[in-house]
């Protein structure tokens, strides 16, 4: 799969190359319909902060339709794409990630997820007649992601043996949930074809601020994660499964029992990579702190209480690689 147009360089300096990593085959795979899946899921969250789910109930036909629409969008002339931006924070972005100096070899479309139809978003092009099919599949996909995120979070609660079962999922299913859908395009990097020694960063290392992220990409590699010992490994793509990332907010709620996974994306010299990421976040007013239900006798809280609004404001002021949770430790 090739996206036809090339993103404009916009005179932005390229990220620093780094050495390629070995492929890692140990990512947990969890069948959501298998008895005992909830226990395996908890173990994966504790050991990796990342796992794949199968039998997830999301039609592959829906995934393919959204990927097709994303490819059509990223294939538009640069001037047309820029009608949807600049990302501040929502809209079209090209190379610049946030407002604090981070850059990557990618272009993206960042969409706010609310209880309203995506056609009511603040992006003008989504209100146009020509974007009707794009809006339709976006709405279907977002609903599927909300359901999947909710089911995964309820399995987490079940595996942790806490009640109510929706103690996590109700946060992302709230009408005022502050969630996001991100469509990323990492075009082939020509410098890698010119014999550049190493790999080029597509999206720099970071953790996700929300509770969980639901990721799906095409069959092009690029995702890397940091294991608990700090070793970086490459994660093979899987077009039939969804990757689930533990986010910072879930790390706080579990008092560090679940760890948000540090990850990044490297560019490819030959193939385009298209990924779709749903970030399930809490409402702005939601107060985040370790759940007493998950703390043993005498266990100290690792984090002070704060609102999602406070944490998001901190995230917007920070660089990608910063450890944002340090500011909220007890």
Instruction: Record the tokens describing residue 169, joined without a space.
Output: 């999922």
Strands 287-288, 306-307: pairing kind: antiparallel
Residue 5 has pLDDT above 60, yes or no: no
Residue 57, pLDDT above cutoff 80 = yes
Residues contacting 31, CB < 8 A, separation 6+: 37, 53, 54, 55
pLDDT for 8 beyond 70: no
**Residue 11 pLDDT exceeds 50:** no
Is 74 within 8 Å of 5 (Cβ atoms)?
yes
266 and 192 in contact (C-beta within 8 Å)? no
User: How far is residue 328's CA from residue 302's CA, in Å, rounded to a whole number?
Assistant: 9
Does residue 210 or residue 1 have the better pLDDT?
A: 210
Q: Would residue 273 show up in a list of annotated catalytic residues for this protein?
A: yes
9 pLDDT above the threshold of 50: no
For 231, the 3-state DSSP assignment is: coil
How far is C-alpha 102 from the chain's CA centre? 17
CA distance 20 to 296: 42
Alpha-carbon 22 to chain mean position = 22
Instruction: Judge contact between 55 and 35, C-beta under 8 A.
Output: no
Give the pTM.
0.91
Confidence of residue 131 (pLDDT cuts 50, 70, 90): confident
Rounded-to-integer distance, Cα 187 and Cα 75, Å? 11
Tens of pLDDT, residues 271-322 = 999 999 999 999 999 999 999 999 999 999 999 999 999 999 999 899 999 9
Report whether pLDDT(154) > 90: yes
Torsion angle defined by CA atoms of residues 274, 95, 249 and 177, in that order, rounded to the nearest 10 degrees: -70
Q: Which of 216, 262, 273, 324 is catalytic?
A: 273
Higher pLDDT: 105 or 115? It is 105
Residue at token pair 């704060």: 306
Please report the pLDDT score of residue 121 as a whole number: 62
Cα–Cα distance measured from residue 11 to residue 57, given in angstroms and rounded to the nearest whole number: 43
Taken in order 144, 149, 152, 154, the sign of the CA dihedral is: negative
First and final C-alpha spacing in the chain: 48
């Amino acid at each position: 799969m090739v996206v036809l147009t090339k993103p404009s360089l916009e005179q932005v300096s390229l990220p620093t190359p780094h050495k390629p990593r070995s492929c890692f085959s140990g990512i947990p795979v969890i069948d959501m319909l298998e008895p005992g899946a909830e226990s395996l899921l908890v173990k994966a969250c504790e050991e990796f902060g990342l796992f794949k789910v199968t039998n997830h109930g999301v039609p592959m036909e829906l995934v393919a339709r959204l990927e097709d629409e994303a490819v059509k969008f990223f294939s538009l002339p640069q001037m047309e794409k820029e009608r949807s931006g600049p990302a501040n924070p929502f809209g079209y972005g090209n190379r610049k990630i946030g407002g604090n100096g981070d850059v990557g070899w990618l272009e993206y479309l960042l969409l706010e997820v609310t209880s309203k139809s995506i056609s009511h978003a603040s992006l003008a092009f989504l209100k146009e007649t020509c974007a009707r099919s794009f809006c339709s599949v976006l709405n279907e996909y977002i609903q599927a992601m909300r359901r999947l995120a909710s089911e995964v979070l309820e399995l987490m609660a079940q595996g942790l043996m806490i009640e109510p079962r929706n103690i996590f999922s109700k946060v992302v299913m709230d009408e005022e949930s502050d969630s996001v859908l991100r469509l990323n395009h990492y075009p082939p990097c020509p410098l890698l074809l010119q014999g550049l020694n190493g790999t080029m960063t597509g999206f720099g290392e970071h953790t996700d601020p929300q509770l969980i992220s639901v990721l799906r990409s095409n069959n092009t590699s690029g995702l890397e994660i940091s294991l608990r010992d700090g070793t970086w490994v490459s994660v093979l793509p899987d077009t039939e499964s969804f990757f689930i990332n533990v986010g910072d907010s879930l790390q706080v709620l579990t008092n560090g029992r679940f760890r948000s996974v540090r990850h990044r994306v490297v560019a490819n010299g030959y193939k385009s990579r298209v990924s779709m990421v749903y970030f399930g976040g809490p409402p702005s007013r939601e107060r985040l702190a370790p759940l007493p239900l998950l703390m043993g006798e005498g266990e100290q809280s690792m984090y002070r209480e704060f609102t999602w609004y406070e944490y998001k404001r901190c995230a917007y002021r920070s660089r990608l690689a910063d450890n944002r949770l340090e500011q909220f430790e007890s």
